[in-house]
Amino acid sequence: GAVVSQHPSWVICKSGTSVKIECRSLDFQATTMFWYRQFPKQSLMLMATSNEGSKATYEQGVEKDKFLINHASLTLSTLTVTSAHPEDSSFYICSASGRATRAETQYFGPGTRLLVL
Amino acid sequence: AQTVTQSQPEMSVQEAETVTLSCTYDTSENNYYLFWYKQPPSRQMILVIRQEAYKQQNATENRFSVNFQKAAKSFSLKISDSQLGDTAMYFCAFMTTGANNLFFGTGTRLTVIP
């Protein structure tokens, strides 16, 4: 139980385009979803927290207009990287917590590798 | 602010041996959770073990156990009978009770040597 999926697993795009990453909780209702960014050989950096039906809360230094987060249902959250640039290239990971799981425990998706050319 | 420190960037262990990964944290909170997550080469983050701060008993999950020392703010992970599949990055993480945010350490890269 408590499986989280992400799609796509990797994406290559041209500079200036927008990229959407989906995060789904497959077997539980995720009242809260989280988006992280991980640079090579580094730890996870929390970007934002989203509660279903509410606006996301962004961490300091994360541009909310660049990283659009939508959590429209209890099983789906999306992260859109708008007007992507090479410095946005990274590994993006989502996690979820919620009903029928231990609320304090986050379950992670497999990650999405983004490369902006 | 909460901080999590993992002082061992890299460790190695012989297959079937035991290894302990260290983690210390700093908080003024009294109620919180501690976690160890594993990130293998696939980069999928996998929950290894969790500990509630109010519980004195150390958590165990099969070959994985923790040594939780609340007064010392220490939360080490012991892996017994190490297996090749244990090769991964291990992250220690902290969460205040009632909050959502997970604070991660910088990770320890563990290599199990056959």
**Residues whose CB is less than 8 angstroms from the CB of residue A111 and which lie 6 or more positions away in sequence, other chains included:** A6, A9, A38, A91, A92, A93, B43, B44, B45
The answer to whether A4 and A112 have CB atoms below 8 angstroms apart is: no
Q: How confident is the model at residue A105 (pLDDT cuts 50, 70, 90)?
A: confident
Six token digits for residue A11? 């994406």
A102: nearest Cα among B29, B73, B47: B47
CA nearest B106 in A: which residue? A43
The pLDDT tens digits of the residues spanning A76-94 come to 999 999 999 999 999 999 9
In 3D, which of A1, A8, A5 has the Cα closest to residue A25? A5
Q: Is A43 on the interface with B (CB under 8 A)?
A: yes
Q: Is A105 on the interface with B (CB under 8 A)?
A: yes
| B39 to chain A: closest CA residue | A110
Q: Tell me if A108 and B45 make a contact (CB, 8 A cut-off).
A: yes
Contact A43, A54 (CB under 8 A): no
pLDDT digits (tens, 9 = 90+) for A30-43: 889 999 999 888 88
Print pLDDT tens along chain B (114 aa). 679 999 999 999 999 999 999 999 999 988 999 999 999 988 889 999 999 999 989 999 999 999 999 999 999 999 999 999 999 999 999 998 877 788 999 999 999 999
